Structure 1
C-alpha cells in the first residue's frame, strides 16, 4: 500500500510541482503508513524509481528519444535507456532515503 501511494502521488504531483517534492511525498506517506525501516526504504525507492522511469519514457518516446540519446552521449552512456535507468535510480535514492527518514524519526520520537 505504501508503494502504491508513493507511486501514484509521485506521478500525479510531478506534473504540477517541482522535482524535489517527491521527497515530501515519500516522507509524508511513510510517516502515515508506519512500516518498518526496510519496507519504507524499499517502497520509497521502488515507487519513485518506477514513477520517474515512466515519466521519462512518456517524455522521451514521442520525440523518438532524440534528446535522451544526446544527453546519454553527453554523459558518455552508450544508450538512451541507460540514461532512464540512471535517472530513475537517482530519484529512487531520494525517495527511499526520505521514506526511511520518516520511519526513523517516528521511531525516535515514539514513546515507550
Structure 2
C-alpha cells in the first residue's frame, strides 16, 4: 500500500510526502515495528527506484551523469539510482516505524495488555 500511495502522491507533491504517508499507513495498520519498518523501507525505496531506473534507461541519463559528477559516486549513474533509493527507503522505514510507535503509545493501557474491566 505504501508503494502505490507514495508513487501516486509523488506525482503531484514534493518528495517529503513519503514521511507523513508512511507514518499514517503504519499508524493505521496493525503491523509490528519490524514489519512496519520493512514495509516503509521497501515501499519508499521502490517508489524511487522504479521511476529512477526507468528514467535512467529512457533518456534522462544525461541528467543523471551530470548530477553524478557533483557527488562522490565514481561517475556511475546507476550508483546514484541505488543511493537515492536507499535514502528514500530509510526515510520511509523510519517514518513507518515512528507511526507504529505512535499508535502503540496512544493506545489505552487496557487495550495494550488485554485487560477488561
User: What is the TM-score normalised by the length of structure 1?
Assistant: 0.89
Q: What pairs up with 1:84-103 in 2 under 5 angstroms? A: 84-103=81-100
- 1:62 aligned residue: 58
1:43-98: CA deviations, max 9, x gaps? 10111001101121233322251111221122121211110011011111111111
Within 2, Cα distance between the matches of 1:67 and 1:34? 41
CA distance in 1, matches of 2:32, 2:8: 26
Aligned equivalent of 2:49: 53
Q: How far apart in 2 are the matches of 1:22 and 1:44?
A: 9
Q: Does residue 20 of the first structure (1) align with residue 27 of the second (2)?
A: no
Number of aligned residues:
108
**3-state SS, counterpart of residue 107 of structure 2:** coil
Residue 24 of structure 1, CA deviation: 1.2
Give yes or no for contact 2:56–2:77 (8 Å, CA) kept in 1.
Answer: no
Instruction: Report which of the two structures shows the higher radius of gyration computed on alpha carbons.
Output: 2
- Aligned alpha-carbon RMSD (Å): 1.2
5+ long unaligned stretches in structure 2: 110-117
Partner of residue 72, structure 1 = 68
